[in-house]
Structure 1
Amino acid sequence: MLKQFFILCSGADKKLLDGCSDGEQTKFVGIGATVFFTAVMAFIASAYALFTVFDNIIPALLFGFVWSLLIFNLDRFIVSTIRKRDSFSNEFLQATPRIILAFIIAIVISKPLEIKIFEKEINTVLLKEKNAMALNNKKEVASYFKSDLEKNKNEIKNLISEIANKEKEVNTLYQTYIQEAEGTAGTKLMGKGPVFKEKIAKHDLAKNELDTIRKNNLEKIAVLEKGNKTLQTDLDKKVTETQPIIDSFDGLMARINALNKLPWLPSVFIMLLFLAIETSPIIAKLLSPRGEYDYKLEDLETALKATIEQDKYQRELLIKTSATMHDKVYADIAEDKKLYDLQRKNTIELLEQQSNNFVEKQMKTL
């Protein structure tokens, strides 16, 4: 049962192969097994690749199965259409397009499996990239809110500076009227004279202004600080909203790019392994000598070709012979006197009838 299945996979003519030796059948069983297991590897690779895209096992398995059928059909077609020739160069020339196609198929199959084999290393690369993306994202979001935050901070700084300057002025006026009262500066007369009263009035006026400025500025600072908190909340919210996008940076293309950043030698060996698997049926066909099956197949094909060419030649000869016979028959008829007289009589009657009809039409118009 398994033998017949692998022969079916090889694309060989089962009836023709049944009449061949066991060794010839074993050769095609090996070719069919290679085609089958290549399709199995294609199913595993494509199912994993599509699972990384859909994150759902059911569509991944369905599409993987369809892809494996496509690869199986291509490999079976490639192997079954290669014919043994008298010259190896002619065989290789015939197989060249199929080898190129096998090379493409090998790359397509190997890449997803490489991603799975080097999954831990790829995850490390992706983690570094995600961290870098998260930092860049924070910088970009912060730069978006930076102008408003800086503006509010500068306004708060100016308001605080205005309060501090006014406090400094009040403290200076306080020291002035104290020194005036003590007689250590100003008029240097101890006591609360007119100059003292004037200076303390200036101090009290400046202190009232300080209280007004402090009250107004503190209210403004509270509003600005509240605005800063709102901006900071919006900034943190924006970072939080964009973080899942960075966390989901784990698709097929991202993993392929991460794989390309790893050392290339292991990937090349894996790809070469699949290339060897994919091209092995073709190489086996090219390197193996002509077998019993090849001779029988060639005999059938050449017999069919000879029959078709013979039928074509017979049809062409039949047409040519028939045309020659018809030409001769009509030539003999043309020389027959009796047939000529009959044709002449009928023609004269036809012309007379046409002439009479013409005369009648002319008479009616008069």
Structure 2
Amino acid sequence: MLKQFFIICSGSDTDILENCSKGEQNKYAGIGATVFFTAVMAFIASSYALYTVFDNLLASIFFGFVWGLLIFNLDQYIVSTIKKRKNVIDELIQATPRIFLAIIIAIVISKPLELKIFEKEINQVLLEQKNDLTLVNKDQIAQQYNPTIEDLNTDIKSLKQQIDTKEAEVNALYDTYIAEAEGREGTMLLGKGPVYKEKREKHNALLTELQQLKAENKAKIASAETQIENLKSDYETQVLNSQPIIDNFDGLMARVNALGSLPWLPSFFIFLLFLAIETSPIFAKLLSPKAEYDFKLEDQETAIKTWVEQKVNQRNILLQTDMSINNKIYNDIADEEELYNYKRKKARELMQLQADAFFKHQQKAL
């Protein structure tokens, strides 16, 4: 039962193989088994690849099964259409496009399995890439806010500098009028005289300006600090909102690119393995000598070809004979006087009817 199933998978003619030797049947059963298990590997590989895309197990299995059937059909077609020829060059010519197709199928099948085999290494590469993307993302978002924050910090520094400058002036006036009262500077007279009062009034006026400046600048500083906090909060929000996109940077294309950054030799050997599996039925047919099945298939095909050519040739001869007979018959009829008179009579009647119809038409028009 299993042997018969693999023979069907090989795409060979089961009716012919039934009358062949056991060794011939086993050969084609082996070819069919290779075709079948290649399709199974294609199903597993495509299901895994689609799962990394859709994150849905049932959908991945369904589409993977469809893909496996497609690969099975292609492999069966490739193997079944390769036939033994009398000339090796003819066999190579017919096998060349099929080998190219087999190489493409091997690449498509091997790549998802490579992703699964080297999954841990790929995850490490993706982690490094995600970390780099996170840092780059933070820098790019920061570029949107840093100039504004720097301007606000500069404004705050300027406002504080204004307060410090005004406060230094007030302190200087305070020291001046105290020194005047103590007689250490100015008039050098001890006591609170007119000069003392004048300097104190000037100090008090500047002190009032300082208090007013402090109140105004503190309000401006508080407003600027609030803006800075809001900008920092917006920055953190944007970083948090964009981080899930980076965390999900593990799709099929990202994994393929990560695989490309790993050493190529292990991946290449896996590809060679699938290439050998995919092309083995083709080379098995090309390298094996012409056997019992090939002779019987050729006998069947040439018998049908000869029968069809005979029928076509018979139809051509029949057509030529019929045309020759018809030409001879019409030539004989053309010489008969009775047929000539009959056709002359009918032509005369037809012309009379046409003349009558034309006359009636012209009469109605008038």
TM-score tier after normalising by the smaller chain length: over 0.9
Judged with a 3 Å threshold, the aligned counterparts in structure 2 of structure 1 residues 180 and 46 are, in CA distance, closer, same or farther, namely same
Matches within 5 A, 1:110-129: 110-129=110-129
Give a deviation string over 1:87-135, Cα, whole Å, max 9, x none. 2221111000000000000001111111111111111111111111111
Instruction: Please report the TM-score for the alignment, with normalisation by the length of structure 2.
Output: 0.94
Pair 1:324 & 2:349 matched: no
1:40 maps to amino acid? V
Q: Distance in 1 between matches of 2:191 and 2:17?
A: 134
Contact 2:333 2:339 in 1 (8 A): no
Who is 1:174 aligned against?
Answer: 174
Q: Distance in 2 between matches of 1:154 and 1:353?
A: 113
1:90 maps to amino acid? D
Pair 1:153 & 2:153 matched: yes
Q: Distance in 2 between matches of 1:11 and 1:284?
A: 14
Structure 2: stretches of 5+ with no match in the other structure:
none
Q: How many Å apart are 1:344 and its aligned residue?
A: 2.3
1:86 maps to amino acid? K
SS in 2 for 1:85: coil
2:135 maps to amino acid? L
Q: List 4+ stretches of structure 1 deviating above 3 A.
A: 348-365
Pair 1:343 & 2:352 matched: no
Q: How many Å apart are 1:190 and its aligned residue?
A: 2.1
Identity across matched positions, percent: 57
Give a deviation string over 1:63-93, Cα, whole Å, max 9, x none. 1000000000000000000010112221111
1:165 maps to amino acid? T
Matches within 5 A, 1:145-294: 145-294=145-294
Residue correspondences, number: 362
Judged with a 3 Å threshold, the aligned counterparts in structure 2 of structure 1 residues 361 and 148 are, in CA distance, closer, same or farther, namely closer
Give a deviation string over 1:222-244, Cα, whole Å, max 9, x none. 12111111111111011100100
Judged with a 3 Å threshold, the aligned counterparts in structure 2 of structure 1 residues 345 and 242 are, in CA distance, closer, same or farther, namely closer
Q: Distance in 2 between matches of 1:249 and 1:353?
A: 89
Q: Distance in 2 between matches of 1:357 and 1:40?
A: 80
Q: Distance in 2 between matches of 1:356 and 1:44?
A: 84
Contact 2:84 2:91 in 1 (8 A): yes
1:113 maps to amino acid? L
SS in 2 for 1:306: helix
Give a deviation string over 1:265-322, Cα, whole Å, max 9, x none. 1111111111111101101111111110000000001111111111000000000011
1:304 maps to amino acid? I
Instruction: Please report the TM-score for the alignment, with normalisation by the length of structure 1.
Output: 0.94
Q: How many Å apart are 1:333 and its aligned residue?
A: 3.0
Judged with a 3 Å threshold, the aligned counterparts in structure 2 of structure 1 residues 343 and 204 are, in CA distance, closer, same or farther, namely same
Judged with a 3 Å threshold, the aligned counterparts in structure 2 of structure 1 residues 258 and 198 are, in CA distance, closer, same or farther, namely same
Q: Distance in 2 between matches of 1:210 and 1:236?
A: 38
Q: How many Å apart are 1:357 and its aligned residue?
A: 9.0
